[in-house]
Amino acid sequence: GAVVSQHPSWVICKSGTSVKIECRSLDFQATTMFWYRQFPKQSLMLMATSNEGSKATYEQGVEKDKFLINHASLTLSTLTVTSAHPEDSSFYICSGGAGAYNEQFFGPGTRLTVL
């Protein structure tokens, strides 16, 4: 299957700082990448859809000024959590579409803890 990487795998930051998470498709080109967050014991919640070279589409209730998404190339999308607060602590996962049926392949996730 297609491989997606994320960096960092975990990050701890102070409240009010910004954190950038990178998502890379290693062996395929992803015109579209997706960003999810997941709280403990809950399923994945789609935050936004990132299209290469254009603005991301955010889901209802997700603050686009707080979660900045950039999809600079067909293999790289970034999520920046600006002015992070403890309630932003979560597990953030990205995915990219590939394969004959555009299956989504997920990265390993990034654990964000805001103190």
Partner 1 sequence: EDQVTQSPEALRLQEGESSSLNCSYTVSGLRGLFWYRQDPGKGPEFLFTLYSAGEEKEKERLKATLTKKESFLHITAPKPEDSATYLCAVRGGKLIFGQGTELSVKP
Footprint on this chain of partner 1 (rule: CB under 8 A): 1, 4, 6, 34, 42-44, 46, 49, 91, 93, 95, 99, 101-109, 111
Tell me how far apart the alpha carbons of residues 42 and 55 are, in angstroms, rounded to a whole number.
28
CB of 93 to partner 1, least distance (A): 5
Compute the least distance from the CB of residue 16 to partner 1, in Å.
Answer: 26
Instruction: Pick between residue 82 and residue 104 the one whose CB is nearest to partner 1.
Output: 104
Minimum CB distance to partner 1, residue 91 (Å): 8
CB of 79 to partner 1, least distance (A): 14
Radius of gyration from C-alpha coordinates of the chain: 13
5 or 82, CB closer to partner 1? 5
The values of phi and psi at residue 26, to 5°, are -85, -30
CB nearer to partner 1: give 4 or 19.
4
Cβ atoms 50, 76 nearer than 8 A: no
Contact 114, 13 (CB under 8 A): yes
Output the CA torsion sign for 27, 77, 54, 32. Answer: positive
CA 32 to chain centre: 12
Nearer to partner 1, 84 or 94 (CB): 94
